[in-house]
Amino acid sequence: MYLLDHSMNSLGENLALDEALLEWIDTDCNTCEILRFWDSSQYGVVLGASRKYRDDVRIDACQRNTIPVVRRSSGGGTVLVGPGCLNIALLLQYDRHPALTTIGDAHQYVLQRVMSALQPMMLPEKTLHSQGIADLCLDDRKVGGTAQRRCRNSLLYHMSLLCHFSIPEIERYLKEPVDQPDYRQRRSHSDFLINLEIDLETCKSALCRTWGTVTDRFHLPLDRVKQLSQDQFNNDQWTYRR
C-alpha cells in the first residue's frame, strides 16, 4: 500500500484528489492501494454526498467568517475540518480484501484495523469501539466519523479523526443533525464529541504500521484534480444541489 501524506491548497482540491485517485486505481491501476492523509490549517465544512446543507450548516455563520462549504462524493454526515483534525482516505481493492463486499462489513473491517492501531496509545481505562452505523467512539462519545464511496473494483473510505480539535467551533458552524444515532441521545456537539488527545503525527505513524504502507513517489493526477475541482468540488451547483 502506498502512503500519500499530501494536502492540497483548498478543501475542494483535497476532495478532488481523493476522487482522482479513486478513478486511477479503479480503472488504470487495479493492483494499487493508497493510504492518504491530509489536514487543513483553516476551518471548513464538508457535506456528505446526500446531506442537505440547510439541515446541517449554519450558513450565516460560515458566510460571516468566510468558512468554505464543500461536498464530498462519499456518504456519511457533515463534518467541520480544520486544525487538529486528521483527514484520512483509504483506497482499497475489493479482490484484496474480501471483507469489503458489503457496506457494513467494510465499515467493521476498516474500523477494527484503525482501533487496533490507536488503542495502544490510549489510557488503560479508555477503550475505542464503534457505535451507530460506523462511528469511532471513546466510551459513549464520538472521536471519528466515516464514509464510503464504492466503485466497481475499489472503495474510497473517508475518515476524520478529532485529535486536538476545537469542538466549540463545530457548535458555531454546524447544526445538530436531524438524523442521529440512538446512542447520541440528542446531545449537543460539545457533549457528544471528544478528542483523542493524540497528535496527528503519532496517529499517522500508527496507522501506517497497521496498513503496512510504503513511501513511494507516484504521479499525482493534477490535471484531473484541476478539472474535478472546477466541475464539481469547487462548484456551487454541486455543493448546494440539495
What are the pLDDT digits (tens) for 145-187?
Answer: 999 999 999 999 999 999 999 999 999 999 999 999 999 999 9
Strand partners, 69: 45
* Contact call for residues 35 and 213 (beta carbons, < 8 A): yes
Walking along the chain (242 residues) 10 residues at a time, the average pLDDT comes out as 95 98 88 93 97 97 98 97 98 94 95 96 89 94 98 96 98 95 96 96 96 84 96 96 86
In the prediction, which pLDDT does 125 show? 83
Question: In angstroms, rounded to a whole number, what is the distance separating the alpha carbons of residues 43 and 61?
Answer: 12
* Contact call for residues 148 and 158 (beta carbons, < 8 A): yes
In the prediction, which pLDDT does 214 show? 86
In the prediction, which pLDDT does 112 show? 97
Residue type, 240: Y
Q: What is the SS3 assignment for 64? A: helix
In the prediction, which pLDDT does 160 show? 98
Strand partners, 131: 135
Give, as one character, the DSSP assignment of residue 233.
I
Question: In angstroms, rounded to a whole number, what is the distance separating the alpha carbons of residues 12 and 16?
Answer: 6
In the prediction, which pLDDT does 236 show? 95
